Amino acid sequence: MTGSRAGDYRILHEAALRDYLAGVPNLAAVLGGAPASWVITEVGDGNLNLVFIVKGAGGGVAVKQALPYVRLVGESWPLPLSRAHYEYLALSRQAHLAPGLVPALLHHNEPLALTVMELLEPHIIMRKGLVAGTHYPRFVSDVTNFMARTLFFTSDLALSAAEKKEGIAAFAGNHALCKITEDLIFTDPYRVAVQNHWTVPYLNTFAASLRADMELHVAVSRLKLKFMASPEALLHGDLHTGSIMVTEGQTRVIDPEFAFYGPMGFDVGAVLANLLMAYFASAGHERSPGERRAFEGWVLETVEQVWSEFAQKFLDLWRTDAKGDAYPATLFAGEKGAARLEAERQAYIQRLFGDAVGFAGAKINRRIFGLAHNIDFELIEDPRRRAISEARAVRLARAMLVETTTFQTIADVTGAARGLRDWMPEFSN
């Protein structure tokens, strides 16, 4: 799939991209017609890369090219192009483990850090649909299949120790992307950092308490260590609702450039956190009081189902497909062994739930106080209304981080979120 030599990297803008695609026979065939007639549009609205949609008489493709720096910030923040390699590798593995839930890969050029994928149409970024108040009936089933299968089948429960360690090694070089997470999620929101920002002046006292709250610092530091030192499974690594494309009937998980072997709760917590933020942001998008209650009810139901279906599917895979070196069958023989192993599975999933709750809390705070925010809150134009939604989310996030064990079930999480729906923060200004 690679057509250039190392050292050939250049940023492909429209004309160069047209020439490049014209020179790749399978892509030219998908697009159809004369290359001059292809319509090329740059649509990237993420923080890191260029993304083009290319349409021809016969069809379309999506082209993603990594930039040698963080797009959101500019050339002052260099970032390795190798992330395109890890994204391609992760997409290939996910396509195998969770067929139909990631975009089809059509072409990859390693030196150009460029990947061409099927064009997902009429899919939209899920976060945009959530801001608009759209329900997605397939989402729970699809995202839980994706998480259960990609996490289980890359873990020691499914793999031999050698296969697992090969997997860790294959992604170990993606450390620059891990470092972004380590800094932006687990560190910067809790200290003075130039790139932090929040809804001023309303959240000033909240930001100050994030910087002063030692219990919070301990909680987030424990999670940071878990993120750095627990290679449980191949993570997507950035599984927020901006990394999911949907129609009402289809779900596709995109953008795994942060993939590495880490703690499973990080991916699960990312999905839960982003749904919870959609829930709290919803009040800020109402045009009349209570207008979006049905949507908000669906979001909380979705939070509950995401956890319960994920847990069920993961445990079922463990019961049927445990070919890995962990928990050797010979140690759990007979009825007594089977019962003890089942109790252990329940304990494992409860521990994973606690991790997901904590990571979800960290994911919420980073979107409200860190560098990279989300449109769920940012599109609430009135800053006071935005801050009210954000403050509710932050209050839940602190409890999820510091009082994690008080959330024993997912209903404890949704109950706490529901209880904060109409809470009015006292702003100092």
User: Which residues of this protein are in contact with Mg ion, per CB under 5 A?
Assistant: 46, 255
Is 237 or 324 the residue whose CB approaches Mg ion more closely? 237
Pick the binder of ligand SR1 from 47, 187, 250, 305 (CB under 6 A): 47
Q: What is the DSSP string of 275-340?
A: HHHHHHHHHHH-SSTTTTHHHHHHHHHHHHHHHHHHHHHHHHHHHHH--SSSS-GGGG-HHHHHHH
Q: Is 184 in the site for ligand SR1 (CB under 6 A)?
A: yes
Pick the binder of ligand SR1 from 157, 180, 299, 300 (CB under 6 A): 180
Backbone angles phi, psi at 200, to 5 degrees: -90, 150
What binding mask, one character per residue, do residues 366-395 give for ligand SR1 by CB under 6 A, x or -? Answer: ------x-----------------------
Is 46 or 56 the residue whose CB approaches Mg ion more closely? 46
Give the Cα separation of 378 and 44 in Å (integer).
18
* Enclosing H/E stretch for 26: helix 25-31
- Could you tell which of Mg ion, ligand SR1, none binds residue 200, using a CB distance below 5 to 8 A set by kind? none
Pick the binder of ligand SR1 from 1, 72, 161, 212 (CB under 6 A): 72
Q: Is 239 in the site for ligand SR1 (CB under 6 A)?
A: no
Q: Is 101 in the site for ligand SR1 (CB under 6 A)?
A: no
Q: Which tokens in the block code for residue 394?
A: 């932050």
Give the Cα separation of 115 and 84 in Å (integer).
7
Is 47 or 230 the residue whose CB approaches ligand SR1 more closely? 47
Q: Is 70 in the site for ligand SR1 (CB under 6 A)?
A: yes
From 23-31, 46-54, 314-322, 379-387, give the range in contact with ligand SR1 by CB under 6 A: 46-54
Q: Write down the residue that tokens 């450039």 correspond to.
A: 257
Burial 286-324 (b: 16+ CB within 10 A, else e): beeeeebeebbebbbebbbbbbebbbebbbebbeeebeb
- Supply the minimum distance, in Å, between the C-beta of residue 81 and ligand SR1: 15
From 24-32, 40-48, 321-329, 416-424, give the range in contact with ligand SR1 by CB under 6 A: 40-48
Backbone angles phi, psi at 127, to 5 degrees: -55, -40
- Could you tell which of ligand SR1, Mg ion, none binds residue 169, using a CB distance below 5 to 8 A set by kind? none
Q: Is 223 in the site for ligand SR1 (CB under 6 A)?
A: no
Burial group, residue 15, by CB count within 10 angstroms (0-12, 13-18, 19+): exposed
Q: Write down the residue that tokens 């609430």 correspond to.
A: 380
Distance of CA 252 to the CA centre of its chain: 12
- Supply the minimum distance, in Å, between the C-beta of residue 238 and Mg ion: 5
Q: Is 50 in the site for ligand SR1 (CB under 6 A)?
A: no
Nearest in space to 12 (alpha carbons), one of 32, 27, 26:
27
Binding site for ligand SR1 (CB under 6 A): 46-48, 70, 72, 180-181, 184, 238, 372
